[in-house]
Structure 1
Amino acid sequence: MTDKELILLIDADDDDQQFFQMAVSDLPVPIKFLSFKDCSSAIAYLSSQSDRLPGYIFIDPDFPRIDWEECLGHLKILQGFGNPRIAAYSSRIPLHWQAELEHQGINKLIEKTGTISTLARQIESLLKQDRAYL
């Protein structure tokens, strides 16, 4: 079952995780938030929580150990069970990545911004698109 009020972030940078959490906290309705430093940890957690999958997964495609294509492959398997929306969240999303990320099943591309309020608006916009957040 997908929990549309649960957002999961996969990002190796502690500061970026904190920044994202502050943006989620600024949303006008309560959202549950989990973060993981790498894809392996997130996949292990999600595999053990198949009854409560997040509605949204944000990943920084530039993380260590597992490359983003392999991570997306694992996340696509999870999509079959709960259909979470997957967004790329990175400080740089080169043009040559954009088409490939979309082809691999990324639903949204969000560049890391300098302000919490801008990021909160981008997250809120994605949630509103699904009407899961009104």
Structure 2
Amino acid sequence: MLETNCLLIDDDLDDQEFFAIGLKKVPMPINYSTAKNGLEALDLLSSSSDKPHFIFLDLNMPILSGKECLPQIRQLAGYDKVPIIIFSTSSYKVDIEDCQKLGATHFFTKVHSIKTLTETITQLISGEKLPFVLNATN
């Protein structure tokens, strides 16, 4: 089985650690990297030869927010079809609508359950047909 490359763009170290724990429980081999803001992510994506298969993007970050970063990722060569999943504490309708218009593949509201996180990531990586909004609380 081939390894899946995932990139998490999130400035919160606790969220990065929680995400890493969830990835370790996914029953597939995953290579995982992080960027702490949108600018760092754009630099990484522009210079790396290993394109991630999935990008998980937080909205609220310093320097370059998720909403600012998303269309810039889509403009990078080869990133027009890479799934970009918004991974945020927000479940506001306006954020969901904005991200869909900007080219997000899914909007995944952050959860506090490793089991739910692991199940959702497994479904995404397995290619299951999922709704745009995942685990919204509002």
TM-score range, shorter chain: 0.7 to 0.9
The CA deviation string for residues 74-112 of structure 1, in whole angstroms up to 9 with x for no partner, is 21023x414310000011221111111111100011111
Q: Which runs of 5+ in 2 are unaligned?
A: 130-138
The structure whose RCO (Cα within 8 Å, separation 6+) is larger is 1
Q: Quick check: 1:4–1:56 contact (8 Å CA) kept in 2?
A: no
Which residue of structure 2 aligns with residue 110 of structure 1? 108
Which residue of structure 1 aligns with residue 97 of structure 2? 99
| 1:70 has 2:68 as partner | yes
Taking structure 1 as the reference length, the TM-score comes to: 0.87
Q: 2:64, 2:23 → 1: CA distance?
A: 26
Runs of 4+ in 1 over 3 A off after TM superposition: none
Which residue of structure 2 aligns with residue 42 of structure 1? 41
Give the letter aligned to residue 35 of structure 2.
F
Taking structure 2 as the reference length, the TM-score comes to: 0.85
Alignment length (residue pairs): 127
Q: Which runs of 5+ in 1 are unaligned?
A: none
Larger relative helix fraction: 1
- Percent sequence identity over matched residues? 28
| RMSD between superposed Cα atoms in Å | 1.8
Give the letter aligned to residue 103 of structure 1.
K
Q: Quick check: 2:37–2:65 contact (8 Å CA) kept in 1?
A: no
